[in-house]
Structure 1
Amino acid sequence: MCLFTGIVQEIGVLREVVRTGGTYLFSITARRVLQDIKKGDSIAVNGVCLTVIDFNGNSFNAELMPETLKASNLGDLKPGALLNLEQAVRAKDFLGGHIVTGHVDGIGVVKSIRKNRNAYLVEIGIKKDLTRYLVEKGSIAVNGVSLTIMELYSDSFLISLTRETWNSTNLHCVKTGDSLNIETDLLGKYVYKILKNYFGNKEFVPHHTTINREFLIENGFI
């Protein structure tokens, strides 16, 4: 499994989309993410892990499977679309964001965008079943960008984008109603599964759970 950090290295441009049967071939203009790249390497495109099947000095090609198109917003994109790009993490790299796998959990829809002094506040609607993995002040990847959840609601969350994040990613292009790729925090998924297994297959509300020393020892936290 390849890993990313959610720190966008550059904004690429979707140059061409070639449809062959049930798959798409994306040709993407880029430069920085092509440094030291080789065929078979992974690049996150709007937060989706894609495999490089061909490249030259200023672009690369990647094939999208039907499941990728179904689970992400990539199938809706047209030539000229701006794309957040990030190379897969190498052992020597600085982990500036959080652990991102490039496996999208679902699609979020922009509900509102407003400027607040030197920041941009964006509320994103999601399916309620995704909120089980989220916590306020926790991490989330939106179109491949590592962000912190400012406020969490029953079917949406609020993020605050600094001017730097706004300007250096394709989030500055989004508008109300747009779809965004959402990947919840990997740690949250594991914690949820551990708790669910501990309390049985019935649904539970984690914040009503008593977590004591015995629970932590039994589940390997200490």
Structure 2
Amino acid sequence: MARILVVDDEVGIRELLFEILYDEGHTVELAENAAQARAARQRIRPDLVLLDIWMPDTDGVTLLREWGSQGLLDMPVIMMSGHATVDTAVEATRIGAVDFLEKPITLQRLLKTIHNGLNRDKPVSVPSAPGKPTTAITADAQNPMATSADEKEPEPVDSVPEQKPGLSGNISLDQPLREARDEFERVYFEYHLARENNSMTRVSERTGLERTHLYRKLKQLGIEARKRSS
């Protein structure tokens, strides 16, 4: 899954995109303006950016041009707008955007565009020292730390717990993916709530979710966050 930065000044759209992309298994960072987008771009180095064109401080095309001039367009950027002209979309594409989404965005179109953006074949150049060739990294690059199965030391038989077919822990693998994921998330959040004595602040830090999204996720899973014991 990918790290996706969503930049939009409308809170409703940010939250909706967060829910959709989070449910798809992505890690999502939100920004409501260009200033927050710049900071997030440096902090998390996103795999893809959804960038709104019309924003109050700096518009998306200007921010895109800024990233391009600074050599920061090393990730696919998909522009979004509900009232952009064809010329604006063409200009954004010329600067470096990989696609354009017109609001209101349909779920199928959103997921397909993100899939295409994440799986594009365009290599990303990595700066090299003077006199040395530049290395290109593509989506097919292998992990240099990975070892083959023959190089791994055999694990003692008695250390491997017996698993029933179709089960992973207490979660059945024979059920639909969404139900299995909900079951896993329920166990995951209940574990962290118990571990942190129901401190929402610490659970938020542990899980990497903002408190607002954490409360929404717990409600969605039917988990009641009990008051901390004194």
TM-score, normalised with respect to structure 2 = 0.23
Higher relative contact order (CA 8 A, sep 6+): 1
Q: Comparing both structures, which one devotes a greater share of its residues to strand?
A: 1
Q: Comparing both structures, which one devotes a greater share of its residues to helix?
A: 2
TM-score, normalised with respect to structure 1 = 0.23
Which of these two proteins has the greater Rg computed from alpha carbons? 2
